[in-house]
Amino acid sequence: MQRIRVFDTTLRDGEQSPGVALNAQEKLEIALQLARLNVDVIEAGFPIASPGDAEGVKLVADNVKGRAVCALARAKDKDIDIAWECLKNAEHPIIHTFIATSDIHLRHKLRLSREEALEQAVWAVKRAKKYVADVEFSAEDATRSDWEYLSRVYAAVIEAGATIINVPDTVGYITPFEMQELIKYLLENTRGIEKVVLSVHCHNDLGLATANSLAAILAGAGQVECTVNGIGERAGNAALEEIAMSLYVRRDFFQAETNLNFQEIYRTSRLVSQRTGMLVQPNKAIVGQNAFAHESGIHQDGVLKEKLTYEIMDAKLIGREDRVLVLGKHSGRHAFAKKIEELGYKLSEEELNQAFQRFKQLADQKKEITEDDLKAIVSEEVAKPEEIYHLDFVHVCCGNNILPTATVRLVKDGKEVLEGVATGVGPVDAAYKAISKMLGISSNLVNYTLQSITGGTEALGEVIVRILDGDEEYIGRGSSQDVVVASVMAYLSAINRMAQRKRKLNPQKDYGES
């Protein structure tokens, strides 16, 4: 079996998804989960992009042990120097530098000749090599580059000290057959390539990212770069979970394996979805809500008789559970705590108490509590921002031929009572306008998503919102059986994050109602 290195770029390329902005603590939380998933390399960010990104990379490098931590840098001295400053406390730091090699990019973007780009690539690798033992070099837009020139660039950077050579399909242009031919060509024609790790980084513009990554492995690539849930620029990247399970389920064909801890796949998917605000489509392979669901009577009959009739993998293998929990409204705190521990969560005493209260409230309203319900409760409580504004109550009046009206009461800092009333095009819109009106903020909602966590009419609804304040974006999430309440909780969660940051930046000037 060939051992394939998994290079996870969720925190770098994944965060470049439109509308996604992770703060440093959220990056660290995801990085720690990626370590539990047992990825080989965590690309923590692009430090030169912003002070916040640099802070996030440094936090990951300082705190995540037992994994290689990587930072991206253009072929520029400042980029490489800042990457090293952020990585210097990592157990295994990797500087990942890059320059474009396709004539399209050289002519229209960089305005460099082929020789100038080659010289700059060699210079960048040599500079990065002064700081770290492992340097990765990427030839941006490699799959649209001239193969002979690409091979020459790779040979030059290997001689300069690069230990990982990456072939990015930057715009998702190549096909699986062409990818196999390209990897074979590079292995046969690049001087020194047998001494380094050959990697691929595939984008999904034509829906071929996973297929192209697997084709590269068949041709001899030793590392794949991917993201959880396949998030990333434009149509996203190759999905980690799809590559991992393809290699596992079809190990007879690929003769390759990873070191991933499959039990952590689903939990990692949920965490990334919640922190980025990007919901996983129901029919998404491996981690989608419907991935192990069967509606057809013929399928149901077959699965009941033998799972293998319609399921090629076990849901439990990736940490998914379909069974209903025995936990209910009569369950005690000890039983609840034990179940949370079995699910792999480590909560503080305060977080456990808060989660248990939410569980009791839900158990009074819902007959069956599922593991997905518990995961939603725990995730929301752990990620909860400081509660400057607490929801006391929300009351809505709506219906056919009735103007939707909402009354909302908030408690600020545990003592000051605020009330607002507004009308809107629907109950959620009315509630949001009531909150905005009482707090004196403009209508700043840029994204709203709602999904059912479990099935049935009693299901928890999970709402994720994004609000914009100047150039800063804040994500809020809330879950409840009442979608209006869930919506208000999510909106307040985002507002509390915004208010918390403003207080931190300027303690003398309070943020709140006008």
Tokens of 494: 């985002």
Share of residues in the chain with pLDDT > 70 (%):
90
- Which of residues 512 and 321 earns the better pLDDT score? 321
Distances (CA, A) of 26 to 29, 61, 293, 454: 5, 14, 31, 25
Q: Please give, one letter per residue, the 3-state secondary structure of 133-182.
A: CEEEEEEECHHHCCHHHHHHHHHHHHHHCCCEEEEEECCCCCCHHHHHHH
315 burial class (0-12, 13-18, 19+ CB within 10 angstroms)?
A: middle
For 271, residues 6+ apart whose C-beta sits below 8 A from its C-beta are: 29, 30, 33, 379
Q: Residue 97: is its pLDDT beyond 70?
A: yes
Q: Residue 78: is its pLDDT beyond 80?
A: yes
pLDDT band at 421 (very low <50, low <70, confident <90, very high): very high
Give, to the nearest 10 degrees, the angle between helix 265-276 and helix 240-249.
170
Mean pLDDT of 275-301: 77
Q: Residue 323: is its pLDDT beyond 50?
A: no
How many residues would you count in the chain? Answer: 514
Question: Which residues make beta-bridge pairs with 450?
Answer: 463
Mean pLDDT of 429-444: 88
Query: In whole numbers, what is the pLDDT of the chain averaged over residues?
Result: 89
Pairing of strands 472-480, 461-469: antiparallel
Q: pLDDT value at position 257?
A: 97
Mean pLDDT of 31-41: 98
Q: Residue 513: is its pLDDT beyond 70?
A: no
E strand or H helix at 60: helix 51-63
Give, to the nearest 10 degrees, the angle between helix 333-342 and helix 371-382.
90
The Cα–Cα gap between 268 and 233 comes to: 20
pLDDT band at 456 (very low <50, low <70, confident <90, very high): low
Mean pLDDT of 124-133: 98
- Give the range with max mean pLDDT: 15-24, 138-147, 300-309: 138-147
- Which of residues 493 and 4 earns the better pLDDT score? 4
3-state secondary structure at position 449: strand
Residue written as token pair 């840029």:
446
pTM: 0.75
Report all structural domains of the chain as residue ranges with CATH numbers, in order of start. 2-276 (3.20.20.70), 297-382 (no CATH), 389-505 (3.30.160.270)
pLDDT band at 324 (very low <50, low <70, confident <90, very high): very low
Q: Residue 353: is its pLDDT beyond 70?
A: yes
The Cα–Cα gap between 429 and 452 comes to: 20
Rg (CA), the chain: 25
Tokens of 18: 């439109």
Q: Residue 311: is its pLDDT beyond 70?
A: yes
- Which of residues 413 and 332 earns the better pLDDT score? 413
Residue written as token pair 């109550």:
393
Mean pLDDT of 55-74: 97
Mean pLDDT of 66-92: 97
Among 146-150, 217-221, 431-435, the range scoring the smallest mean pLDDT is 431-435
The Cα–Cα gap between 360 and 355 comes to: 9
| Cβ atoms of 293 and 283 closer than 8 Å | no
pLDDT band at 504 (very low <50, low <70, confident <90, very high): confident
Among 63-67, 274-278, 331-335, 394-398, the range scoring the smallest mean pLDDT is 331-335
CB atoms < 10 A from the CB of 446, how many?
11
Give, to the nearest 10 degrees, the angle between helix 483-505 and helix 427-439.
20
pLDDT band at 383 (very low <50, low <70, confident <90, very high): low
pLDDT band at 304 (very low <50, low <70, confident <90, very high): low
First to last CA, the chain: 65
Tokens of 340: 């949370």
Among 18-32, 56-70, 362-376, 495-509, the range scoring the smallest mean pLDDT is 362-376
For 188, residues 6+ apart whose C-beta sits below 8 A from its C-beta are: none
Q: pLDDT value at position 332?
A: 75
- Which of residues 351 and 390 earns the better pLDDT score? 390
Distances (CA, A) of 134 to 165, 419, 455: 11, 58, 48
Q: pLDDT value at position 449?
A: 87
Q: pLDDT value at position 445?
A: 87
Q: pLDDT value at position 298?
A: 60
Q: Residue 101: is its pLDDT beyond 50?
A: yes
